[in-house]
Structure 1
Amino acid sequence: MPRLFTGIEIPADISLALSGYRGGLPGARWVEPENYHITLRFIGDVDERMADDVCSLLGSTRRRGPLTITIDGLDSFGGRKPRAVFARTSGSPALSELQAEQEQLMRQVGLAPETRKFTPHVTLARLKNASALDVADYIAMRGHFPKLTFTAERFVLYSSRASVGGGPYVIEAAYPLA
């Protein structure tokens, strides 16, 4: 039973730049740079038939042309109980439209709606027992974050094994945006 999700790949040069933010945070499990991505839609553990339906339906995604994506800072999820540190992306209407379309497609195959608000980001670390103060200090010490911009020419369907910290991720299919 594969665990699937769709996402935008992060180019090697951007991954290298982001990997420079690894370290210096107690309780962090750092994501390997080759696993950096922007999740569009988590699909979950599905059987082979559903996986085939998802793969086929994603091929009907409306083509928009390449997406320009800018990563512009560090942030965290979880507030007083932080659970992840991430590199955030600045708002992109085209990226949000792509995600919304995928949400609709996944509902068509019978998947439950995503309940979380779409917040495009690249997870850098998952946190366990990290204090909110340590996370705030980590982000503050890295306050000068140069904007990192790239062009995404496709989105992909990833699979993963159930594991601690995610990854390794395998590209099952790619869908051009142009």
Structure 2
Amino acid sequence: MPRLFTGLEIPPEIAERLSFFRGGLPGARWIEPSDYHITLRFLGEIDDVVAADLDAGLAEARARPAFSVTLDGLASFGGDRPRAIYASVVPSPDLIELQEEHERIARRAGAAPERRKFTPHVTLARLNREAGPEAVARTLTQAGVFPRLTFTARRAALFSARTSRGGGPYLVEAAYPFLGGNFEPEEGEDA
């Protein structure tokens, strides 16, 4: 059974800027910049029928224009038991509508409803117990000012995750371009 999720790819130039925040925290397993993404709908291990129905639903989704996505800060999930460091994403109406559409498509395909509130983000590191709250707070403080990073989301993707402890590698199984959303060669894709 494939382990799948839908999301937005992070362009290489934005991934490179995010990679500057890597390192210096014991207990952190840093995500490879090529695996940075914004998860829209995590599905986990699903059977081939649900995966095929999901793919068909995403391919038939309403046409939407490419839209801007802005990353605006660093934070951590987990409070007193930090489990991840991430770059936060501004929850724009376009992004929220896309995520809600992916949720509807996933449910129609037979996936169980997502119980967690959508918090758009790019995971930079997964943390183990060695990364205590004080060390995480110090790392976030020492990171300095986070420059707002904006890019154009040109397509959604269906990703598969290889069997691992999380954090990739991820493979784009299918892509669903937005209107005017073909990738430009300078954004890391061949023309």
TM, length-normalised to structure 2 = 0.91
Unpaired stretches in structure 2, ≥5 consecutive residues: 180-191
Which residue is 1:123 aligned to?
123
Map 1:59-98 onto structure 2 (within 5 A): 59-98=59-98
Aligned to 1:138: 139
Name the Cα RMSD after superposition: 0.9
CA offsets 1:120-161 (integer angstroms, 9 cap, x no match): 110000000111111111111123011111001100000111
Identity rate, percent: 57
Runs of 4+ in 1 over 4 A off after TM superposition: none
What SS does the corresponding residue of 1:81 show, helix, strand or coil?
coil
Question: Is the CA contact 1:31–1:165 (under 8 Å) kept in the aligned structure 2?
Answer: no
Residue 174 of structure 2 is aligned to residue 176 of structure 1 = no
- Residue in 1 aligned with 2:52? 52
Q: What's the counterpart of residue 185 of structure 2?
A: none
Check conservation: 2:31, 2:126, Cα contact below 8 A.
yes
1:98-136 Cα shifts (integer Å, max 9, x gaps): 000110111112211111110111000000011111111
Aligned length: 178
Range with bigger deviation, 137-146 or 9-18: 137-146
Unpaired runs of at least 5, structure 1: none
TM-score normalised according to structure 1 size: 0.97
Confirm or deny: 8 A CA contact 1:29 1:165 kept in the other structure.
Answer: no
Residue 52 of structure 1, CA deviation: 1.0
CA displacement 1:29-74 (0-9 Å, x = unmatched): 0000000000000011112222111111111222220110011110
